[in-house]
Amino acid sequence: MPDFNRNCTPDLERLPIHGPTTATLFEFGNTSGSFPLNASGVSRQRNFNGPKVRRDRQVALAPSIGLCYVCPMAWLKGSLSAAFITLNTAVVCVLLYPMALLRLLLTGTWRSALTRRMDLIIDLWVSANRGLIKVLGLIDIQVEWPSVPLRRDRWYMVVSNHQTWTDIILLQSVLRPALPPLKFFTKRELIWLPLVGLAMKLLGFPYVRRARQPGGDHSAASAAKDRDAINAACAVFRNHPTAVLSFLEGTRFTPAKRDARNSRFENLLNPKIGGLSAVLSGLADELDTLIDVTIHYPGDPPGFWDFLQGKCPCARMRVDAHPLTDQMRHPNPAVQRAEVGALIEELWRAKDARLGEAKAEQQTGD
């Protein structure tokens, strides 16, 4: 069971230091573990952009280790991780694109069967990333699962709080053994991402427009187009078991966004249920369970590059399963939205309290 209150950030100041507490900078690239000194006892550091330069300044031992060992190794780990994910993406796209072209020529059961096989591409990509996280030790993820069993041969609606792009990789990796492939709402602008944008489009990820201020014909027209896109995606999702992921906040949480949007919550943005309601209507006969995931990072949420470098030592996830009532899939939109809104408000208040308690106890522990 994950402990949301455990601080996983290593405390460099608590590392045992024996002997002198100062040491001169050593040369990058030296792997002997020694501090190369010149005849006058001053260490040399190689400048990456030029020749060797003399450094007479002394620094504390712990900071010098962080500067000369941790940073280059973290950069190397991040570069390897980024290269692997790029190569992994290129490989799966090489497999996916011909399958998508072939699907254009097929109809009926043949087309449905190929669409189902194409989802295996998602499993392949996620499984490779899971291996990367494990081999390089990028992050330790502790998960609390619900008491009810989850199955890959059923449909699920998944909602989660959202703080960083890292959330997507972690959700895919953690939920991969328990749920069918995740397909999440994607901002329309991301369709232009090389390889990834087209791949998600071919795999049926619903593209929606960036949230706008309510009111006005333009906003109403955009919402109508989003509903049409979601309905079209749900028609494909009915072909075989799928898990649909929605970040109900619509964007990544930051305190600045919380204040600017007058959020009712301390650690979350106000949830938007339009897309969720559309999916529940489009998959009314298939969906019977909503999965609510709470993600907590001790300390600040990591940027994606920080995650690739292994600078976020741990994350905590809580996975809850909630049955969907008939009212939440009611054909009357007003009835359905009222029921769904009440459920999400309840879940968001519990999630906000949970995150607040974790942060408070973490600060107390510090």
pLDDT tens for each residue of 282-300 = 999 999 999 999 999 998 8
* pLDDT of the residue at 220: 73
**102 confidence band (pLDDT: 50, 70, 90):** very high
**What integer is the mean pLDDT of 136-153?**
95
48/159 same-domain check: no
Q: What pLDDT, on the 0 to 100 scale, is given for residue 222?
A: 76
Q: Is residue 158 part of a domain?
A: yes
Q: Which domain CATH number covers 185?
A: 3.40.1130
Domain boundary among 50, 70, 90: 70
Question: Model confidence at 339, in pLDDT bands (50, 70, 90)?
Answer: very high
Residue 345 scores a pLDDT above 70? yes
Q: Give the Å distances, CA to CA, from 312 to 9, 136, 180, 255, 302.
A: 8, 13, 27, 20, 6
In a domain, 79, yes or no: no
Contact 239, 111 (CB under 8 A): no
- Rounded to the nearest angstrom, the gap between the alpha carbon of residue 65 and the centroid of all alpha carbons in its chain is 31
pLDDT the model gives residue 217: 46
Residue 34 has pLDDT above 60, yes or no: no
Mean pLDDT, all residues of the chain = 82
- Tell me the mean pLDDT in the region 80-86: 97
C-alpha distances in angstroms, 352 versus 122, 290, 320, 346, 348?
A: 31, 18, 14, 10, 6
Residue 256 Cα distances to 253, 338, 360, angstroms: 8, 29, 19
Rounded CA gap, 47 and 54, in Å? Answer: 10
* Domain annotation covers residue 97: no
40, 70, 100 — which closes off a domain?
A: 70
pLDDT at 2: 62
In single-letter form, the type of residue at position 176 comes to: R
How many folded domains does the chain comprise? 2
52 and 155 co-located in one domain: no
pLDDT > 70: percent of the chain: 77
Within a domain: 86: no
Task: From 32, 47, 70, give the residue that closes a domain.
Answer: 70
From CA 15, how far away is CA 314, in angstroms rounded? Answer: 19
Which tens digits make up the pLDDT trace of 50-69? 334 334 433 333 443 443 34
Helix 120-136 vs helix 71-103: angle between axes, to the nearest 10 degrees?
A: 170
Q: Which residue has the higher pLDDT, 50 or 206?
A: 206
Residue 104, in any domain of the structure: no
Average pLDDT (8-36) is 35
What domain range includes position 19? 12-70
Report the b/e string of 190-219 with b at 16+ CB within 10 A: eeeeeebbbbbebbbbbbbeebeeeeeeee
Which pLDDT score, from 0 to 100, does residue 223 have?
Answer: 77
Residues 175 and 269 in one domain: yes
- What pLDDT is attached to residue 20? 35
Percent of the chain predicted with pLDDT > 90 = 64
Question: Which pair of tokens denotes residue 270?
Answer: 């106000």
236 inside domain = yes
Question: What does the pLDDT look like over 117-139, one tens digit per residue?
Answer: 999 999 999 999 999 999 999 99
Kindly report the pTM of this predicted structure.
0.79
Say yes or no: 59 and 184 in one domain. Answer: no
Q: Is residue 75 domain-resident?
A: no
Mean pLDDT of 23-46: 34
pLDDT surpasses 70 at 27: no
Name the burial class of residue 55, with classes exposed (0-12), middle (13-18) and buried (19+) by CB atoms within 10 angstroms of its CB.
Answer: middle
pLDDT band at 251 (very low <50, low <70, confident <90, very high): very high
Q: Which whole number is the average pLDDT over 29-53?
A: 36
Q: What is the predicted pLDDT for the residue at 126?
A: 97
pLDDT at 227: 86
Q: What is the pLDDT of residue 185?
A: 86
Residue from 43, 16, 15, 18 nearest 30 by CA: 43
Same domain, 65 and 144: no
- Is 106 contained in some domain? no
Q: Which of 24-28, 175-179, 311-315 has the highest mean pLDDT?
A: 175-179
Would you state the pLDDT for residue 7?
54
